Amino acid sequence: MARVNGKVLPGFSLSLGYTVFYLSVLVLLPILACFSKAASLSLGEFWAAVWTERTRAAYALTFGTSLVAATLNVLLGLLVAWVLVRYRFPGRRLMDSLIDLPLALPTAVGGLVYASLYVSKGWLGRYLVPLGIQAAYTRLAIVLVLVFIGLPFVVRTVQPVLEDLDAETEEAAASLGATRWQSFRRVILPPLYPALVTGFALAFARSLGEYGSVVFVSGNMPYKTEIAPVLIVARLEEFAYGEATAIAVVLLVVSFSMLVLINLLERWSEREAAHA
């Protein structure tokens, strides 16, 4: 068996050929079509499509709500991951399985329920609306549903790191007289940073493109609660394909940057984990 595996095992050209073919048809050609359509616009037309008061409001809303939601996800995700890893209580395994539900549940269903829970007669809205908390058809509604969608991303990136955390440093910190809070801040939290940042980026990226759930809960009011993907659909429904594509290209460029960033972050996490 002195030969390189590439020569011993069969099927290299067939599998690689099919992979490249499938990816070209399904991914590369469509992306190419998107950029070529955008390139058919003049610079002035492109700019006029992507930079209006309405698109600016949509970008700001998309970024703002995604940012707030991903930040909340980091806090809540760390809490949930901590409790799942460190404590034993009845129902822990059930809770662990439930964390994945937002990944398995169709986004339309999530949107439908969140749109009904927080209206003034809804299960939660009846308590919140009298307090002046309007979580239906507002920005808060968008944040809430994005927190729902993004929670598993943070929990599932933090959980394995927390499980593998070295017990000895923590014990050493305690035996050297650190309080529990000091150990948490100085000893436990730092190795979690890469996972927390990766989880944040994953939840943020997912939120930026989210459509299915947000259309239900936001009310889709131009300038107020209209996110960028909804704006693309609105342009498409007016048959303004050029303008829709221009906005789509902006989102695509952001997505690609996020993809590169997430890959770098994951490599960083793995390196940190290898150090520990």
Partner 1 sequence: MPETAPTARRITRIRYARQDPAWVRWGLTLAAVAVVGLLIVVPVVHVFAGALSDGLGAYWKNLFADPDTRHSILLTLTVVPLALVANIVFGLAAAWAIARFRFPGRTVLTALIDLPFSVSPVVAGLMFVLIFGLQGYLGPLLQRHGVKILFATPGLILATAFVTFPFVARELIPVMEAIGEEEEIAAVSLGASGWQMFRRVTVPNIKWGLAYGIILCNARAMGEFGAVYVVSGHIAGQTDTMPLRVEKLFQEYNLPGSFAVASLLTLLAILTLVVKAGLERRVPSERPHVD
Q: Which of residues 47-86 bind partner 1 (CB under 8 A)?
A: 76, 79-80, 82-84, 86
Among 95, 221, 264, 276, binds partner 1 (CB under 8 A): 95
Whole-number Å distance between alpha carbons of 140 and 224? 12
Residue linked to tokens 């940190």 = 272
Among 46, 114, 137, 200, binds partner 1 (CB under 8 A): 114
Q: Which residues, 6 or more positions from 237, have their beta carbon under 8 angstroms from its beta carbon?
A: none
Q: Considering the rule CB under 8 A, would residue 89 count as an interface residue with partner 1?
A: yes
Q: Considering the rule CB under 8 A, would residue 187 count as an interface residue with partner 1?
A: no
Q: Considering the rule CB under 8 A, would residue 2 count as an interface residue with partner 1?
A: no
Among 51, 123, 127, 223, binds partner 1 (CB under 8 A): 123
Q: Both tokens of residue 55?
A: 């698109």
CA nearest to 139, candidates 255, 70, 223: 223
Q: Considering the rule CB under 8 A, would residue 11 count as an interface residue with partner 1?
A: yes
What b/e string do you get for 98-135 counting C-beta neighbours within 10 Å, with b at 16 or more? ebeebeeeebeebbebbbbbbbeebebbeebbeeeebb
Q: Considering the rule CB under 8 A, would residue 44 count as an interface residue with partner 1?
A: no
Among 57, 136, 146, 232, binds partner 1 (CB under 8 A): 232
Q: Considering the rule CB under 8 A, would residue 146 count as an interface residue with partner 1?
A: no
Give how far the C-alpha of residue 207 lies from the chain's centroid of Cα atoms, to the nearest Å: 5
Among 44, 168, 274, 275, binds partner 1 (CB under 8 A): 168
Q: Considering the rule CB under 8 A, would residue 125 count as an interface residue with partner 1?
A: no
Q: Considering the rule CB under 8 A, would residue 212 count as an interface residue with partner 1?
A: yes
Dihedral (CA of 186, 187, 189, 195) sign? positive
Write down the least CB distance from residue 130 to partner 1, Å.
18
Report angle CA 19, 20, 22 to the nearest 5 degrees: 65
Q: Considering the rule CB under 8 A, would residue 268 count as an interface residue with partner 1?
A: no
- DSSP assignment of 42-91 equals -HHHHHHHHSSHHHHHHHHHHHHHHHHHHHHHHHHHHHHHHHHHH---TT
Among 263, 264, 267, 271, binds partner 1 (CB under 8 A): 263
Among 26, 43, 131, 274, binds partner 1 (CB under 8 A): 26
Amino acid at 136: A
Whole-number Å distance between alpha carbons of 87 and 76? 16
Stretch that binds partner 1, among 49-57, 115-123, 127-135, 218-226 (CB under 8 A): 115-123
Write down the least CB distance from residue 88 to partner 1, Å.
10
Q: Considering the rule CB under 8 A, would residue 236 count as an interface residue with partner 1?
A: yes
Stretch that binds partner 1, among 30-38, 41-49, 50-58, 134-142 (CB under 8 A): 30-38
Among 30, 64, 190, 222, binds partner 1 (CB under 8 A): 30
Whole-number Å distance between alpha carbons of 194 and 108? 32
